[in-house]
Amino acid sequence: PIVTYILGPSTPEELAGYENIDISTGGELCENITYLGRCGILQCPSGLQVAYVSGMDSNKSSKDGCFFKEEETKQLCAKSEDKNFKGVDMLLTSDWPKGVTEYGNKLVDTSVDPSETGSEIISQLAIKLKPRYHFTALDNAYYERLPYRNHKVLQEPARHVTRFISLANVGNSSKKKYLYAFNVVPLCHIKPDELIKQPDDVTEMPYGKLLRNKATNQNSQQNSGQNFFFDLDSKSGGQKRKNDDGNQRQPTKRKGP
C-alpha cells in the first residue's frame, strides 16, 4: 500500500484497532499505515506541514483515548506566536470547527446541523494555525466550503485563504464524496505574492462571532474582578460608627463666616 497517515479513534468501538500502540504519541499500525497521534504537526521531507488533532472534543466524550483536551491544542496554538510563522499547509481534525458555515455556501447535507455541530476549540485552532486546507471526516457529511480570509480587509496585511472540506464515511450508502485528490505545493515554496492571492469567491472568516464572544467574556471577567464592596458597619447593626472612646461619631459642622 502507499504511505498512509490516519487520525485516532473517535468512539470507544474504534479503540480496539489501536490497542497495541501508544494512543498519545502514535506510531505505525502496519506497513505504510501510520497513526499520527493525538495532537501535533507532521513535518514532511517535501516541506509540507500537516497539523492534526485526533478524536472528539473532551466536552463531548468521556472515554479516554477518544477525545482531545484543550491543553493539548494550546501547545499547537503557541507555535503561531513565532514571528516567522505563516501558517500550515493542512489541518486534519476529527471534529468540525464550530460555526464554519457562517458566511459560507449552504450546507445541503441534512445529516448535520451547523448550529449543533462542531468544537470551539477546533475553531480557535483554525484561527491560530491558518491552514491552507482544513479536512475533517467525522459526521458522514460532504461539504466543501467557500474559501475564507485569514485577515481583516484594510486593517491587517493580506494572508492566504483557508479551504474547509468535510468528507463522508468511506463506502457510505448515500454515495457522498469521501475522497479528495489534489496537488499541493508546500507553503514554504510559494512566493508571497502568489500565496496571498484572493479567489473571487472568498468570504469573511466564519469565526468572527466566536472571537467577539470570547473578547466580551474576557472583558466581563476583568470588570467583575475590579468590583469591591465594603460594609464597615456590619458589626454595628447599621448604627453610626463610633470613635475609639465608644462615643458615636458626630458629623462635622461647617464653620460659618
- Give Cα 215 distance to the centre of its chain: 15
Residue 68 lies in a domain: yes
pLDDT at 249 over 70: no
Contacts of 79 by beta carbon, 8 Å cutoff, 6+ apart: 41, 85, 129
Q: What's the mean per-residue pLDDT of the chain?
A: 87
Q: pLDDT class for 87, splitting at 50, 70, 90?
A: very high
What global pTM score does this model have? 0.82
pLDDT at 165 over 90: yes
**How high is the pLDDT of residue 172?**
95
Q: pLDDT class for 100, splitting at 50, 70, 90?
A: very high
Residue 222 lies in a domain: no
Residue 44 lies in a domain: yes
CA distances from 236 to 233, 242, 246, 248 (A): 5, 9, 12, 11
Residue 239 lies in a domain: no
**Where does residue 169 rank: exposed (0-12), middle (13-18), buried (19+ CB within 10 A)?**
middle
pLDDT at 247 over 70: no
Residue 232 lies in a domain: no
Residue 207 lies in a domain: yes
Mean pLDDT for the stretch of residues 47-73: 86
Residue 125 lies in a domain: yes
**How high is the pLDDT of residue 221?**
60
> Which amino acid makes up residue 178?
Y
Range of the domain at 197: 4-213
Structural domain count, the chain: 1
Mean pLDDT for the stretch of residues 10-30: 91
pLDDT per residue as tens digits for the range 191-229: 999 999 999 999 999 998 888 887 676 666 666 656 555
Q: pLDDT class for 83, splitting at 50, 70, 90?
A: confident
Mean pLDDT for the stretch of residues 71-90: 91
Residue 43 lies in a domain: yes
Q: pLDDT class for 190, splitting at 50, 70, 90?
A: very high
Residue-wise DSSP of 5-17 = EE---SSGGGGGG
Q: Which residue has the higher pLDDT, 255 or 129?
A: 129
- Which residue from 99, 103, 88 is spatially nearest to 162, judged by alpha carbons? 88
pLDDT per residue as tens digits for the range 109-149: 988 998 899 999 999 999 999 999 999 998 899 999 999 99
Residue whose C-alpha cell reads 480496539 in the numeric block: 16
